[in-house]
Structure 1
Amino acid sequence: MQENVKALFTGIEVAEKHEEQERHGNDLAELGGTSAIHSEKLEEPTVALDTRLVGKPTG
């Protein structure tokens, strides 16, 4: 099992290095410019998810 985990992490590292080379070292957030996620954008989906999971909104 440890060998499988090591192989998985190695694969992830290779994929990350490849992605970094493609994006010239920029993270995805850096490429997006001003597209920040604000709490207001998350409020409605959070309440909807809470309602589905618990049956009542938490907020």
Structure 2
Amino acid sequence: MDSIEVAIADLRLQDKPNITATAKKHGCNRTTLSKRFRNVTGSRAAAHDSMRLLN
């Protein structure tokens, strides 16, 4: 599993999610983690899958 996915799973278990501390703990970018956690952006794999369906 990717470090972002592990960090998102960790955030979901927290009562009050602390994105900065979780990003440092798992060694990932805080901004990317925040956007992925809030469903603003998705993974590259998901983007590639959706593009593949267009053809």
Say which one has the larger Rg: 1
What's the TM-score, normalizing by structure 1?
0.24
What's the TM-score, normalizing by structure 2?
0.25
